[in-house]
Amino acid sequence: MKIHFKSKEEVEIMREGGKILGNALKYAASLVKPGITTKELDKEVERFILSHKGATPGFKGYYDYPATLCTSVNDEVVHSVPSEYVLKEGDIISIDCGVFYKGFNTDAALTVPVNKISAQANDLINKTKESLDLAISEARPGVNLRTIGELIQNFIEKNGYSVVRDLVGHGIGKTLHEDPQVPNFLPSYPLPTLREGMTICIEPMVNIGDYEVLSRKNGTIITKDGSLSCHFEHTLSIEEKGAVILTPYY
């Protein structure tokens, strides 16, 4: 494992890129409504990112990924490629996006309701976001990443949902995915302790039903039991007093 610690100057660059990304996600959320396709969302957000000098979509071309966004609807957990799918009232959509800016990546995601949704879907969104907020509040130098994963898992399971085990958060910087892994559950393997200068992505992926997932041929990850799934993510800088959100969208 090789963790790349960032200087204050490098974190500042990531903060600038993260601000663009946070605004891109806020813009994407504002466009979500019945009748829009996920491909239309993708085109609009790509245009928004490219309107900022020096910023490019971080996902596009990464392992040949063809789009700016991952647009995962209902039982889709992550990695769903934008398509001609038309959003309808009652859907929930997880929008995951990255920005590459001045040599550094940022990565963030949020889940948005399409107009009126069920009470359970709404609660799933709220509890997933709360689990991310809880993890961020506890992420500081000296705290082991196993503790962060256990916090998320315990909170989610206490509320009757399940945390996906096959996918985890990650370090981030000059490449989109760096060491260390950042699980949203208590893993069986050791993990490092957070230190100042680390930049990481915490991203709980939470299902209404069981935590098991499947992969479609196109790479989209879906829940095995067809239940709804929710995803929130922020890029964070670990600093002396705690974690600082580099991708603010709320």
Count how many domains the chain has: 1
Is 2 among the domain residues? no
Q: What is the CATH number of the domain that holds 204?
A: 3.90.230.10
Is 3 among the domain residues? no
| pLDDT band (50, 70, 90) for residue 250 | confident
pLDDT digits over 98-157, tens only? 999 999 999 999 999 999 999 999 999 999 999 999 999 999 999 999 999 999 999 999
DSSP β-bridge partners for residue 51: none
pLDDT digits over 143-173, tens only? 999 999 999 999 999 999 999 999 999 999 9
Predicted TM-score of the model (pTM): 0.97
Under DSSP, is residue 184 helix (H, G, I), strand (E, B) or coil?
Answer: coil
**Counting Cβ atoms within 10 Å, is residue 141 exposed (0-12), middle (13-18) or buried (19+)?**
middle
Is 220 among the domain residues? yes
Q: What is the mean pLDDT of residues 194-203?
A: 98
- Domain of residue 102 covers 8-245
Is 231 among the domain residues? yes
Is 42 among the domain residues? yes
